[in-house]
Amino acid sequence: MALATQRFIEQNGLTDELQLAGSVCGDGPYDLMSTLMYYVGQYKAGKKLNMPVVMPLILKGMCDSNPYMTDHQVSDYIKPQFLETGILDWLNEKNKTTDDITDAWKEQYKNGTTADQDQGNGYGSDYFHAVLNDDGTSTLGKMMRSETLDYFSNLYDNYKDSYTSASGIPLPTHRGLMEDLHFALESNNMTIGWQHQHPIFMYHSYDVTVVPEVNRERAGNTIGDWVIKLHASGYLQYDHVGSGRQFYLGLEEFNAIRALANAPLHPTKEDVSNIRTEYGSNSLDD
C-alpha cells in the first residue's frame, strides 16, 4: 500500500499538497509475476506454500477488478477440489485471519467437512488430502490446474535467471486464458511504469516465503537509485507476519522515518544517495 500510495501522489502532482517525503515499504508484493515465479521455483524444488491462501487471494483480486480478467473466474486456474474447502466464501466474508484459514485447513485435512452431513453434502476425512498438507499448507501442484502450472512453469524455465532483472519477463503476444492472467499480474506491477520523485525505504526479510525477497530485488533493478534497502538480517528466523511485526516495532523503521522527516520535499538522486550513505552504517544493506 505504501508504494502504491506514493505512486498515486507523484503521478497526480500531490506532493506539495500532501507534503510527501517518501515511503517506508515492508515485505510487499510489488511485482506479482516475480512472486509467482518464486513460488514456481519453490514447487520445482519440492517445497510447499506456507501460506497457500495467497494464491486464491491474488486470483480473486484479479478476477474481481482487473479488466483483463472480466471473462474469467478463479476456478479457471485453481482446482475445484481446492475451492471446495470454502476458501472463496471465507475471503468474501472476511471473518477469518490467515491463521484461522490455516487452522481450518488442518481440520479439513484431518476430519473432512461435516456441513449438512445429513444431506450428504460433507466430505470424508481423506477428501482434501489431494489438495492440502496435514499442517494446513499446500503446494502449487496440489492447488493449481495443470494448465495454469504448465504455463507459468514454462515461463520460469525460460526466465528463471532473469525474471528479477530490469527487463523482467516479456508480455504475451496474444490474449488467452493464461495470457490474460499474465497481463493482469503485470498490470499490477508497482516497480515499473512511473517516474519516481522521492526516496523509497524498502525492507524485506531474506527468508520470507510468503512475499519473497525477489520483490525487493526486482524493485532495486527497476526503480534503482530511489530505493534504499533496509537491513533485514536480524529477522531471518521469521516469515512474513513475524518479520513485519519485528521491523515495524524496531529501530530500522524509526531511522527510515527520521531520514524522511529531514529530507527535502523535492529531492534529487544525489539527496537520496546522501541519505543512503548517512544511514547506511547502522540500518542499511549494501
Is a pLDDT exceeding 80 seen at residue 141?
A: yes
Compute CA 165 distance to the chain's CA centroid, rounded to the nearest angstrom.
Answer: 17
d(CA 286, CA 281): 10
Q: Which residue has the higher pLDDT, 139 or 217?
A: 139
Mean pLDDT of the chain: 86
In the chain, what is the straight-line distance between the N-terminal and C-terminal CA atoms, in Å? 25
Residue 120: phi, psi to the nearest 5? 80, 20
Identify the helix (H) or strand (E) that includes residue 117: none
Q: Where residue 282 falls among pLDDT bands split at 50, 70, 90?
A: very low
Quote the pLDDT of residue 285.
44
CB 255 within 8 A of CB 282: yes
Among the listed residues 9, 50, 2, the one whose alpha carbon sits nearest the alpha carbon of residue 28: 2
Quote the pLDDT of residue 228.
82
With 0-12 / 13-18 / 19 or more C-beta atoms within 10 angstroms meaning exposed / middle / buried, residue 272 is buried
% of the chain exceeding 70 in pLDDT:
84
d(CA 48, CA 133): 9
Quote the pLDDT of residue 211.
82
Contacts of 70 (CB under 8 A, 6+ apart): none
Break the chain down into helix, strand, coil percent, rounded to 5.
55, 5, 40
Nine-digit cell at 108? Answer: 479439513
Q: Which residue has the higher pLDDT, 51 or 230?
A: 51
CB 197 within 8 A of CB 15: yes
Nine-digit cell at 118? Answer: 445429513
Identify the helix (H) or strand (E) that includes residue 230: strand 227-230
Which residue, chain included where needed, has cell 529531492?
267
Q: What angle, 0 to 180 degrees and rounded to 10, lies between the N-to-C axes of helices 32-44 and 146-159? A: 100
Residue 100: phi, psi to the nearest 5? -60, -40
Quote the pLDDT of residue 153.
98
Query: Helix, strand or coil for residue 31?
Result: coil
The H-assigned helical ranges of 66-213 are 80-83, 87-93, 98-111, 140-143, 146-159, 177-187
